[in-house]
Structure 1
Amino acid sequence: MKGIIIKGIAGFYYVKTDEKVYECKARGKFRHEELSPLVGDKVEIVIENEKGLITEIFKRSTELVRPAIANVTQAIIVSAVKNPDFNTDLLNKFLILCEANGLNAIICFNKIDLIPKEELENKISFVKSIGYEVLCTKAKTGEGIDEIRKHLSGNVTVLCGPSGVGKSTILNNILGRDAMKTGDISEKAKRGKHTTRHCELLEIEGGYLADSPGFSSLDVAAIGKDDLQYCFPEFKNYQNECKFSTCMHYKEPGCQVKKALEENRINKNRYDFYIKTLEEILSRREWK
């Protein structure tokens, strides 16, 4: 029968099928193929004496390394507007990683009661101008949680974002229970304490929600220099019109992305971040 791995602990994999959840081991052949089952894998299993054996792992649509999870379809990037302070560069890094991994990205602004309404509207306008959907929440009171629920059906969703922004509180609100332990903000560092220990898929609203902490590695410089531009969806309408097919929208003449920037059709903050990241990638390659 077929199912999905919803949890893996110490070599045992818990596979949800249409009937029930089975505790399974993986066939030895996967070790020889250097293929390890991941949470989120769609698999085929056989059952003997109520114990399962994973016999096949189907092709993955996406694969994340940290957290180790397969077939994620979307990421909800949680960003506090205050406490910790909003960081545009950090948000851009998460967006790049979502694009690089083929994930639909939604931005969730949390703790929206901590800043003036006009300031919040400016942040929302910025995100919408670069082509992403925005949700707003006050996780401690549950405000906005129903809007998140509406986006879960038919998806395997991961919550990501910096520590302390409210990911655990949001998940607990969605599930109506303490699925994750929540950590306080460190007064000294103004950062949240890491609280999540393992990755598990929780079935909710016709989809699955990962209880993992999201991307724990934000090394965007690992992305190829030629691939980086495709992680900025607002470049899409212009990048194929450049004078040179190999244009990286940096110092080349006849660049339509730079022309769009000059005409305010591309956000300068985003373009500056693109150049900063590109220079970091090029610099690393020079030292290799």
Structure 2
Amino acid sequence: MSQQTGRIIKTYNGYYYVLGDNGTWYTCKVRGRLKQKRFVIAAGDRVELDAAGEEGMITEILPRRNLLQRPLVANVDWLAAVFACADPDPSFLLIDKLLALAEAANIPAVLVLNKADLAPEGFFDRLEAVYAPLGYPVLQVEAKNGKGLDALLEKISDSTVVFGGPSGVGKSTLLNHLNPELSLKTGQVSAKIGRGRHTTRFAELLPFQGGYIVDTPGFGNIDLAELVMDDAAQGFRELKARAGQCRFSGCTHTHEPDCAVKAAVAAGEIAASRYESYCMIRQELAAQKKRGQKS
């Protein structure tokens, strides 16, 4: 038996499929003493294992950079928030929910606007004015004909990337144009681990441009249950940047006087749409917490 390190590519039914740093695939279980600890183990985790042939026993979960709770995946380099310019029309609230999810999980995000040919006049300028100053790249693409994909490929190559967004925005078409061999590679990985790509609701890492695409069944529906944070402000960079500047500690940025956030909104330093999204997300999180207390 030899000690190896590797990365979990997929979890299924108590088994963990690990691609070792030596290039060998291992089908793994978790060592008993590790089971006794309170731990979460996810696709994307780097692990240590005791290996014998192509089987292994995971002995340690190595420190992770970040963790998405739903879908459960670790060590993500980018979250690509994909929205259509029209058909369906984009929602600032849905955009901000997905970006808040990334922010709360400490994952860099890029905003990908598909169906650029359908964009109303001034649409891109409006979104860039809101999101570019916050550090979110805003990319225009036309997935149906492959236009505008070079900038996106440059951003996400050699990375582990989660693609999320509402249904109908063209995520599948986008991925097919980004890498036509993705389906073939998916089949190879699935054959190796003995499962079809759509037989599980758990995340799976699929080889892509020197890195991985995270296959996340059901991730198209953005659910606030995915937001793991005590305060909605944790999901907004511009609000976190003003922490401690309000008159009252614990300011909710809604009704209190001398609030730095509300002053920034009034001065045009924080986009009104972002502040409205914050207020709505805060209300939804409060309602979610209340329901949890009653159950």
TM-score (norm 1): 0.83
Query: In structure 1, which of residues 246, 254, 259 is the aligned counterpart of residue 258 of structure 2?
Result: 254
SS of 1:53's equivalent in the other structure is: strand
Change in CA separation of 1:68 and 1:284 when aligned onto 2, cut-off 3 Å? closer
Instruction: Look up the equivalent residue of 1:13 and give its one-letter code.
Output: Y
8 A Cα contact 1:97 1:218, kept in partner: no
Give the Å deviation of 1:284: 5.0
Partner SS state of residue 244, structure 2:
helix
Q: Which amino acid aligns with 2:5?
A: K
Alignment correspondent of 2:154: 150
**Matched pairs, number:** 274
CA distance, structure 1, for counterparts of residue 176 and residue 208 of structure 2: 12
2:17 to 14, 18, 35: 14
Q: How does 1:1-288 map to 2 (within 5 A)?
A: 1-29=4-32, 30-35=34-39, 37-153=41-157, 155-177=159-181, 179=183, 198-213=202-217, 214=219, 216-219=221-224, 223-224=228-229, 227-285=231-289, 288=293
Report how far residue 208 of structure 1 moved.
2.3
The whole-number CA distance in structure 1 between the counterparts of 2:287 and 2:19 is 46
Unmatched runs of 5 consecutive residues or more in structure 1? 181-193
Separation (CA, whole Å) in 2 of partners of 1:230 and 1:215? 22
Q: Could you tell which deviates more after superposition, 124-133 or 277-286?
A: 277-286
C-alpha deviation, 1:215, in angstroms: 6.3
Q: What one-letter code is carried by the residue in structure 2 that aligns with 1:231?
A: G
**Structure (1/2) with the larger helix percentage:** 2
Pairwise CA RMSD:
2.7
Conserved? CA contact 1:220–1:277, under 8 Å: no
Q: Tell me the SS of whatever aligns to 2:156.
A: coil
1:189 is matched with which residue? none
**Change in CA separation of 1:105 and 1:195 when aligned onto 2, cut-off 3 Å:** farther
Q: Which runs of 4+ in 1 moved over 6 A?
A: none
What SS does structure 2 have at the residue aligned with 1:56?
strand
Tell me the TM-score normalized by structure 2. Answer: 0.81
Judged with a 3 Å threshold, the aligned counterparts in structure 2 of structure 1 residues 137 and 38 are, in CA distance, closer, same or farther, namely: same
Structure 2: gaps (5+ residues) = 185-197
CA pair 35-238 structure 1, distance change in 2 beyond 3 A: closer
- Preserved contact between residue 2 and residue 44 of structure 1 (Cα < 8 Å): yes
Q: 1:19-62: CA deviations, max 9, x gaps?
A: 32313221341433354532101011232233333222213322
Tell me the CA shift for residue 197 of structure 1: 5.4
Q: Deviations over 1:112-151 (max 9, x none)?
A: 1112443333233332244421111111211122222212
Change (3 A) 1:234 1:21: same
Q: Could you say if the C-alpha distance between residues 247 and 36 of structure 1 is closer, same or farther in structure 2, counting changes exceeding 3 Å?
A: closer
- Matching residue's letter, 2:154: K
Amino acid at match of 2:114: N
1:15 partner SS: strand
Name the structure 1 match of 2:194: none
Question: Structure 1 residues 248, 143: closer, same or farther in 2, change over 3 A?
Answer: same
